[in-house]
Amino acid sequence: MSRRDMLRLAGIGVGGLLLGAGGVGGLLAAEAEAPSKAGAVSRDDLVPYYGQHQAGIATPPQDFIVFAAMDLTTSSLADVRELFQAWTEAAAAMAAGEMLGEKNTTLNVPPSDTGEAAGLTPSRTTITFGIGASFFDSRFGLASKRPQSFQDLPAFGGDELRPEWSGGDIGIQACANDLQIAFHAIRNLARIARGKAVLRWTQEGFQRTGGADPTGATPRNLLGFKDGTANPNTSDADLMKDVVWAQHADGAEWMTDGSYMVVRRIRMRVEVWDRSTLGDQEATFGRHRDSGAPLGGKREHDEVDLNKKDDKGNPVIPIDSHVALARGDGSIKILRRSYSYSSGMDTKTGQLDAGLLFVCYNRNLSKQFIPMQRRMGESDRLNEYIVHTGSAIFACFPGVSKGGYIGQTLF
C-alpha cells in the first residue's frame, strides 16, 4: 500500500494531519523505518546493467563471486522466455541496489525480496547469464541454433570431474564487492525460477578485496602466485572483438556481442604445495613468486622469453612450466576472470577443499580454450598439485537494452 493510498483510506488530507502515536502517525513511522538503500549511490559503485555486452565479462573483477548452474524443469520455450524476462527485470533492479517487487512491507504475503541486501549499496553488482550445451537438445526446438563451435569439452589430462560440480542448462555468474549481495542475487533468481528451473550446483569465490590492496595489483591464487597477468587489455576494442566477443561472421547471429564462458573447479593440493621448495614452485609456474615476473625477468609484465637460456644452455623458463604451456606461441588468448574458493575441510582426507574457480571468456572454444587446456593437461608441471573436479561451458548472451530481455536474440 502506498503512502497516498494509506492517507486516502484514513480519510484525511496531507494538510490536516492530527496523528496519535497509535494511529496513522504510527503507521507512517513504521513505514519510515522500512529498509531502504543506504544513501545516494556513487557512480563508482554502480555497473550499468543495460548495454551492448553483458556486464561481468569485461568488467574489472569484483571482490566476490557466487556462481550457480541450474537445470530447467520445464520443456516449454514459452516458460523459458518468461523466466528470462523476469530474471532481466530482477537483475537490473539488483544491479542498481534496489529491492525486488512491491510486497516488502505487506504483512499478509511473503516478501517479494529476501531482504538480506536491504539498505546496502549496489557494490558493483553484475549478473551474467549463459546457457549450456544441454540447452540445445530436443526440449525447446532450438537444436539448429546451436553454434558449431559450442560443443561439450573433451576430456583433458588432470580431469577427475564429478557430476555434482559439472554441467547445467543455465549458468549465472553474480559478482559484487560484497559476498552477501552476490549471494542475495543468486538466491532471488533461484526463487524466481521455482517451477521452471532448479539449482544444480553453486560455488562461492573470493579474491583480495579492494580495501586490502588499494593499488589494484594482480590478485594471487591460493598457491601464492599472481593470477591473470597475461590477460588481454579489455579497453582495446579491436582486441576484445578478436579474443572475447562473438561476431556475426562466426555463424550464430544471435550470439553476436556475446561470449563463451568456461567454468572449471580446480582443487589445489595445498598441503603438498606447502612442502615444496620456492625454487620448485617458481619452476612450476615459470614466474617469480614475489614480483610475478617471468623467470629471467624483473617486472610482472616483462615479455615471456621462452628462448632464453641459462649459462648451462637450459631454458630459463622450463618448457613444461605453466606459463610456457599457457602461452604457447602467443597466438591464443583468453580472458581470465577467476576466483579462489574454500569449501572447508574434506572429511574423507582431512585436507582443505580449496582451490581455484577458473572462469574464462573466449570467442571460440575450439580455437582458444580447448587447444590451450589440451597442452596444459598433457604436460603442465602444475598438474602435480591440482585436480580438475568440475567443468561447465555456457554461451553468454549479448547485452540487452531497456525494454528487452536477456536471451531475446535467441528466444
DSSP codes, 129-142: EEE-GGGGSTTTT-
Question: What pLDDT, on the 0 to 100 scale, is given for residue 43?
Answer: 75
Question: What pLDDT, on the 0 to 100 scale, is given for residue 40?
Answer: 62
Question: What pLDDT, on the 0 to 100 scale, is given for residue 27?
Answer: 36
Structure-block grid coordinates of residue 142: 532450438
Distances (CA, A) of 361 to 310, 333, 336, 388: 36, 10, 7, 18
Q: How far apart are CA 298 and CA 109, in angstroms?
A: 62
Q: How far apart are CA 173 and CA 41, in angstroms?
A: 23
Structure-block grid coordinates of residue 379: 604436460
The 3-class secondary structure across 15-43, one letter per residue, is HHCCCCCCCHHHHHHHHHCCCCCCCCCCH
Grouping H, G, I as helix, E, B as strand and the rest as coil, residue 267 is strand
Residue pair 166/391 in contact by the 8 Å Cβ criterion: yes
Question: What pLDDT, on the 0 to 100 scale, is given for residue 28?
Answer: 37
Question: What pLDDT, on the 0 to 100 scale, is given for residue 20?
Answer: 38
The cell 567443468 sits on which residue? 391
Write the pLDDT tens digit of every residue in 144-200: 999 999 999 999 999 999 999 999 999 999 999 999 999 999 999 999 999 999 999
Report, as ranges of residue numbers, the positions in the chain whose pLDDT lies below 50. 1, 3-4, 6-38
Question: What pLDDT, on the 0 to 100 scale, is given for residue 2?
Answer: 54
Tell me which H or E stretch contains 273.
helix 270-273
Write the pLDDT tens digit of every residue in 334-371: 999 999 999 999 999 999 999 999 999 999 999 999 99
Tell me whether residue 136 is exposed, middle or buried, using C-beta atoms within 10 angstroms of its C-beta: 0 to 12, 13 to 18, 19 or more: buried
Q: What is the mean pLDDT of the chain?
A: 91
Question: What pLDDT, on the 0 to 100 scale, is given for residue 255?
Answer: 98
Structure-block grid coordinates of residue 187: 538466491
Question: What pLDDT, on the 0 to 100 scale, is given for residue 42?
Answer: 74
